[in-house]
Amino acid sequence: MKSIFKFSLILLFAFTACAKKTPELVFSVGGAPNELDFWEEIISDFEKEKGIKVRILRQPTDSDQRRQGILIPMKAKIENPDIFLMDIAWIPQFAASNWLLPLDEYVQRDKYSLKPFWKNILDLSDTYKNNIVALPVYIDAGVLYYRKDLLKKYGFQNPPSTWSEFLKISKKIQKAEREKNSSFFAFVWQGAQYEGLICNFLEFASLDGGGFSFTGKLKINTPANIKAADFMKDLINKWKLSPPNTYTDMKEEQVRMFFQSGNALFERNWPYAWGLHQSDNSEIKGKVAIAALPYFKGGKSVSTLGGWHIGISRFSDSKDEAWAFMKYVVSKKVQKSFCLKLGWNPARKDVYSDAEILKKYPHFKDLKNVFGNASPRPAIPYYTQVSDVLQRHINSIVAGKTDSKEAFNQAEFEIKNIIERYE
């Protein structure tokens, strides 16, 4: 018995020693089944190339559930997951909570070039207190889809660059198309009470002074914000260029399906809709193009930045291995494969000039310019609570239930109370 016990101890110590030599990296990622299956392929290739074992921790498709799945171990300060994918909106909270490993030391050690990434995205989304804390894996930004066949039919050479041009084109074409299609509307966009409404609002509020400032004096109730919200309301109620259910039902997929049915001239959506618009069962296949979103005179075109970024846990016991995996995931080879296999928008600029990519996705030449002018939502750790307040009040304005100045004044009051609880 003593011999068996000693032999068991030897095996245990041997196993422990081996485990230390070949640590297992735990990667937390969610998404659709086909996305997770492809992550398994990426991980398999990485293991063969680098000799580092990776265990994938599969999460649901739902974004809130994915966030919760990372919050729990981070709050407990446990080792796993070592590395994870984050929605761009989570980064400020994770960084402020001191959960993300600063990457500057690794970047400098390996002389790792950050030039392939958009500087505005790195500076505004992936940097906290002057330290890089994440890298983008794939990116999104709001774009304007338009029916190029209808613009040509009614004598317009280019999509509108300003909202005044947009109104002129929209009114003319909607009136003409309504003669044979009473269900036709000029513009569909995300106006329901959810996060997509905030993304849309920030794009309308592109004048100087528009948007929300949380540094120094709180700026919510501003003339630029009032103008933007009133314009959104007027698209539905005054000019009737957008469907009456915009503020009740319109989220990404409702907007996408409406436009894809052939019943709209313009659509604000994310780049994911392009492939679906070009599918064989689409009524608008071959009739669509994309452009930067319009802006008010005196402002500029702004797209709300979305997408997913990769970060390393400060509590990981395999930080070097996690950094190796991070570099692999954002390499040109892997970024290109994500694009070809899943249709994702790469985080690297150099992929957008790749001949094979442009052959399959000719619209990427336009996306590259959009991403260069993209801007994230406010980078504050209590953003979720602030967004809930803004969603409620902006939706009330768009629905015509509340005066815009009164609504923003009340939102500002509620947000001040949130800030006081955190500061």
41 lies in the same domain as 65: yes
pTM over 0.95: no
382 lies in the same domain as 283: yes
117 lies in the same domain as 165: no
250 lies in the same domain as 217: yes
> CA-CA distance, 28 to 208, in Å (whole number)?
39
300 lies in the same domain as 152: yes
156 lies in the same domain as 194: yes
Domain count, the chain: 2
186 lies in the same domain as 98: no
| Residues 195, 274 contacting (CB under 8 angstroms) | no
> CA-CA distance, 159 to 93, in Å (whole number)?
38
Phi/psi of residue 130, nearest 5 degrees: 65, 15
52 lies in the same domain as 171: no
In this predicted model, what pLDDT tens digit does every residue of 11-30 receive, in sequence order? 333 333 333 445 799 999 99
251 lies in the same domain as 114: no
Long-range Cβ contacts of 334-338 (<8 Å, 24+ apart): 334/42, 335/138, 337/42, 338/38, 338/137, 338/138
Domain membership of residue 395 as a residue range: 143-304+378-422
Q: 267 forms bridges with which residues in the sheet?
A: 145, 188
Q: Does 5 reside within a domain? A: no
Q: Does 3 reside within a domain? A: no
Q: Does 9 reside within a domain? A: no
186 lies in the same domain as 292: yes
Q: What is the pLDDT of residue 22?
A: 57
DSSP 215: S
Token digits for 164? 């005044």
Query: Can you tell me the mean pLDDT for 367-389?
Result: 88
> CA-CA distance, 273 to 270, in Å (whole number)?
6
CATH number at residue 47: 3.40.190.10
In this predicted model, what pLDDT tens digit does every residue of 127-144 receive, in sequence order? 999 999 999 999 999 999
267 lies in the same domain as 291: yes
Q: Does 222 reside within a domain? A: yes
Say if residue 170's pLDDT is above 60.
yes
> CA-CA distance, 368 to 392, in Å (whole number)?
33
Q: What is the pLDDT of residue 6?
A: 42
Q: Where are the beta strands (DSSP E) in 135-216?
A: 135-141, 143-147, 185-188
Q: 78 forms bridges with which residues in the sheet?
A: none
Q: Does 17 reside within a domain? A: no
161 lies in the same domain as 269: yes
Q: Does 100 reside within a domain? A: yes
Q: Does 95 reside within a domain? A: yes
DSSP 219: B
